[in-house]
Amino acid sequence: MKPPQVLSFLFAVLLLLSGLEWIVPDDFTMAGFPIKVFRWDTFFENDEVKLPNKMAGSTLQSLQIEAEKLVSSDSTGEQDFDSTAFIADTNQGQSLPEVSFHIDSASGIQYPSGDSTLFYSLFNQLDSLKSKKELIRILHFGDSQIEGDRITGYLRQRLQQQFGGCGPGLIPLYEEQPSRFSVEIKSSKPMSRYLIYGKTIPVGHNKYSVLHSTFRLKADSAFPNESIKNSFSYRMRNSGYKRATFFDKATFLVRNPQSKIEFKVLNAGPEKIQKSLSAADSLKLVGFRFPQKRKEFQVEVSSTSGNDLYSVCLDCDFGIAVDNIPLRGSSGIDLLKISPSFLQDQIRQLNVKMVILQFGVNVVPYESPGFGWYESSLIKVIKTIKRAKPGIQVLVVGVSDIAKKTEGQWRSYPNIIQIRDAQRNAAAKTNSAYWDLFEVMGGENSILAWAGTNPPLAGKDYIHLTPKGAQVVGEFLFQSLLKDYRSYSNSKNAKNNPL
């Protein structure tokens, strides 16, 4: 065949195929094999992004600017800082300023059986922090959506502005790769780190911390039972939110069944601050209080390699602490791998009053005929938490919107609604609260609008929020809690001052 004849033949084949695309369905089966028909329009199509009608980009940008102003409005300096100072105290009885973050039935917290008084016991404890000089904690568990203290850090700052407190809260003893914008963590020697989520690194027991990890000092193989010295430093970054940039109390969580552990504060000035802990196969909290606010803390730890060193809490003496616990790749059910009694002991000793569970992003990519299995697993997780302490509250934050490319267009995953419903059902069946982040963001395809703002509020992976997007989500969550707290306060005032 001559070249012109070959070209003519190929052209005729293309014409035939072009005609067939108008009469053959997009997908069909031949001899048991699925066949997908080529379409010219998809070949020439750009990566089109169809923006949703809800939550326009200009609205999102305005909300982000407002969130940044609200979180920066804390004028308290560390020198004159009162850890139990409330925003309400500085308003001289005036109502708090109105904000653009409108909370309605879709964006507000949903309570089981419509019981909006579920959190009243928690709000009562928040009200009494100042008089009781008490420190209470909120544990914020989540997937990579909260990594780097995103969402948590913003929520912490806003809650501490409202109810008092300071410090970044519970953090790992050590980090090989820096992941928190609020604190820098260093170790004088490499550590052995064991994980119970993701690419698990087992330690030989299931007594892990709420961070789903534990650390051990590395021994010299020639002298495995000798005591090892290692120093750790924790420096608050100025890039963190204001109340996370200083603290006045450090508390270590350890378990030392093998031998005693000794702690020595290195930057205590002329004063010697040391503590020794006898061997014990149980959770122990070792605390250090400082007369002045600190931005840095250095400690030397002496121990053998068989003891578990879990984490450290950097807090104020009084107020509220909000702890960031990101579990990359987790669906939220790894919590069940931790010894239930040991997990519950941590919740009790840390005085945890509320747990926030924010997962779902890692469940979405999996195709499943249903998500009853996920609902059942979440129910087990919530029940395990609630057995730790009577009255502890759980807030389930629903899956955020994420998208994938389908036929050249980015669209929300179709199973998000099923996963959201599984999360909401698990909350309702355990008498827990639920917050629908998917609806708060704007519903279907909303992640596209969040990624399309300038600056972007979500990444071009159409999965993860940017730090600025996390501010918007954090403010929506804070305003949802604050709305219900105000309802509690109005109810309390009405009872105290009847007509």
pLDDT at 18: 61
Work out the pLDDT band at 209, boundaries 50, 70, 90: very high
pLDDT at 199: 83
Higher pLDDT, 321 or 220: 321
pLDDT at 85: 57
Q: Is 483 within 8 Å of 103 (Cβ atoms)?
A: yes
Instruction: Check pLDDT > 60 for residue 91.
Output: no
User: Which conformational region is residue 198 in: left (phi greater than 0), alpha (psi within -120 to 50 degrees), or beta?
Assistant: left
Q: Centre a 10 Å sphere on the Cβ of residue 69 and count the other Cβ atoms it contains.
A: 10
Work out the pLDDT band at 165, boundaries 50, 70, 90: very high
Around 495, how many Cα atoms within 13 Å sit in the side-chain half-sphere?
A: 5
Instruction: Check pLDDT > 90 for residue 150.
Output: yes
Q: Which pLDDT tens digit goes with each residue over 377-393?
A: 999 999 999 999 889 99
Higher pLDDT, 421 or 175: 421
Instruction: Check pLDDT > 60 for residue 490.
Output: yes
Work out the pLDDT band at 43, boundaries 50, 70, 90: very low
Hey, where are the domains in the chain? 52-166+317-491, 171-315
Q: Which pLDDT tens digit goes with each residue over 304-318?
A: 999 999 999 999 999
When the candidates are 3.40.50.10420, 3.40.50.1820, 3.40.50.1110, 3.30.200.20, the CATH number that belongs to 52-166+317-491 is: 3.40.50.1110
Cα separation of the two ends of the chain: 102
pLDDT at 94: 42
171-315 and 52-166+317-491 share a CATH fold: no
Phi, psi for 432 (deg, rounded to 5): -120, 165
Work out the pLDDT band at 289, boundaries 50, 70, 90: very high
What number is the average pLDDT over the span 19-47?
A: 51
Torsion of CA 357, 358, 364, 366, to 10 degrees: -40
Instruction: Check pLDDT > 50 for residue 93.
Output: no
What number is the average pLDDT over the span 86-92?
A: 46
Q: How far apart are CA 138 and CA 477, in angstroms?
A: 14
Beta-bridge mates of residue 293: none
User: What secondary structure letter does DSSP report for 418?
Assistant: H
What number is the average pLDDT over the span 219-229?
A: 78
Instruction: Check pLDDT > 70 for residue 407.
Output: yes
pLDDT at 496: 76
Q: SS3 for 469-495, per residue? A: HHHHHHHHHHHHHHHHHHHHHHHHHHH
Higher pLDDT, 219 or 114: 114
Instruction: Check pLDDT > 80 for residue 84.
Output: no
Q: Which pLDDT tens digit goes with each residue over 338-369?
A: 999 999 999 999 999 999 999 999 999 988 88
Q: Is 259 within 8 Å of 280 (Cβ atoms)?
A: no
pLDDT at 176: 78
pLDDT at 104: 85
Domain 171-315: assigned CATH number: 2.60.120
Q: How far apart are CA 265 and CA 233, in angstroms?
A: 10
Work out the pLDDT band at 181, boundaries 50, 70, 90: confident
pLDDT at 101: 85
The average confidence (pLDDT) of the chain is 87
pLDDT at 179: 76
Torsion of CA 127, 135, 469, 69, to 10 degrees: 60
Instruction: Check pLDDT > 50 for residue 45.
Output: no
What number is the average pLDDT over the span 115-141?
A: 95
CB burial class (10 A; 0-12, 13-18, 19+) of residue 302? middle
Cα 454 to the center of its chain, rounded Å:
24
